[in-house]
Every structure is written in C-alpha cells, then in structure tokens.
Amino acid sequence: MEESTAFLIERHRQNDPAAFEKLVGRYHSLVFGVCMRFMRHRQDAEDMTQETFSRLARYLSRWDSKRPIEPWLVTIAGNRCRTVLSRHRHEVATGVPVEPAADRVQEKIAADSLREEVRLALASQPANHRQAFELFHEQSMSYAEIANQLGCPLGTAKTWVHRARVAIMDQLLQREVVVAAKSLVAAEVKR
C-alpha cells in the first residue's frame, strides 16, 4: 500500500532519509515539467528541479499537512526558475554579474534563451526574409550568393536580410529579451 504524502513528510521530519527519497520520486516529474517549461533546456531544468527539492527539504517543516503539497511544489519551482531568469536579465541589462560563481551557467541559459527567442521571432517572418536571413547568418553566404540561391536581384537579397534583422530586433525589444536605447534601434533601421 502506498504511503500518503503527509505520512512521508512526517517520517522525513523524524530524520528518515528514505521518506524524502520517496517524496522526490513521487513528485519529480511534476517539478521537472514546471522547470522545463520555464527554462526550455533539459540541463537547466534538471538543475532547477534539484534546487526545488533542496528548498523543499529545507522548508518542509513549515508545510501545513492539511493542504495539498503539489501547489506548493509548483510555486517553489516557478519561483526558483524566475529568480534565475531574473538574475540573468539583470546581468544582461547591467553587464554586471550577479553571481560570479554561476557565470558559465548564466551564460549558457542566456545563449539558449536568446537562441530560442530569435528562432521564434524568425519563424514569424515572411518566407523570403527568413530564408535570406538564415543564409546570411547561419550559412555565412554573401549577398550575391543569397541572390543567386533565391533567384532575386542583389538589392532585394540585402533588403530581405535587413528587414528580417530589424523585425527580429523589434520583437526581441518588445518581449524585453534585449534592452537597447532607442537611438541604437533607430541607427540600425537607417542602415
């Protein structure tokens, strides 16, 4: 017969390590799912899942056994993920590392997050703009090669790459993925 969550927590409070292992096993997929939705990267989600259970172990004595534990776990997981993502945004905006020991993790999260945001912004572009942008930035083709590949004039290839770049930047600014002065954006648009 499966032990209740309240029973396992009570055993954990009495220093039974097997009880906490059973709790982790029971709720791991729930917590990991929440973290994966926030972090969008498996390793980062695993790190946040581990941190969530670490917090749970630390504060389990505060849990009211009359209430379900799932909403509390989801809240802890969401808060941990938001904190890491917020620190990352602060670091990107100010250029000042928040936690020097976590620089590599933060950089990886930033790169993965930015890559995903650019991919989403690019997906909303017209097909010819998207293709021109990908050929230029991902395959390092020259404008002449892009024009030849897409069967369009050289000036059109340049325009498509430029329009995709501007539209992607606008979307990243609107979603607050990047922060930039309006004069920098205006300068980019004039190019």
127-136 pLDDT tens trace: 999 999 889 8
Per-residue pLDDT band for 140 (boundaries 50, 70, 90) equals confident
Domain boundary among 68, 90, 112: 90
pLDDT of residue 177: 66
pLDDT of residue 95: 56
DSSP the chain: -PPPHHHHHHHHHTT-HHHHHHHHHHHHHHHHHHHHHHH-SHHHHHHHHHHHHHHHHHHGGG--TTS-SHHHHHHHHHHHHHHHHHHHHHHHHH---S-GGGHHHHHHHHHHHHHHHHHHHHHTS-HHHHHHHHHHHTS---HHHHHHHHTS-HHHHHHHHHHHHHHHHHHHHHTTSS---HHHHHHHHH-
82 and 132 share a domain? no
Identify the CATH number of the domain in which residue 147 sits: 1.10.10.10
As a whole number of angstroms, the distance between CA 114 and CA 84 comes to 15
The pLDDT of residue 180 is above 70: no
**Domain hosting residue 164, numbered range:** 124-190
Q: What's the number of domains the chain is made of?
A: 2
Per-residue pLDDT band for 146 (boundaries 50, 70, 90) equals very high
Residue 166 lies in a domain: yes
Residue 18 lies in a domain: yes
17 and 83 share a domain? yes
Query: What percentage of the chain reaches a pLDDT higher than 70?
Result: 79
Residue 112 lies in a domain: no
Residue 108 lies in a domain: no
Query: What percentage of the chain reaches a pLDDT higher than 90?
Result: 30
pLDDT, tens digit, 9 for 90 and up, residues 43-98 = 999 999 999 999 998 888 888 777 888 888 988 898 899 988 887 665 555 555 54
Residue 75 lies in a domain: yes
Residue 114 lies in a domain: no
| Residues 154/147, Cβ–Cβ less than 8 Å | yes
pLDDT greater at residue 188 or residue 116: 116
The pLDDT of residue 189 is above 50: no
- Note the pTM of the prediction, 2 decimals: 0.47
Residue 169 lies in a domain: yes
pLDDT of residue 190: 46
The pLDDT of residue 153 is above 80: yes
134 and 60 share a domain? no
Residue 106 lies in a domain: no
CA 115 to chain centre: 10
Identify the CATH number of the domain in which residue 18 sits: 1.10.1740.10
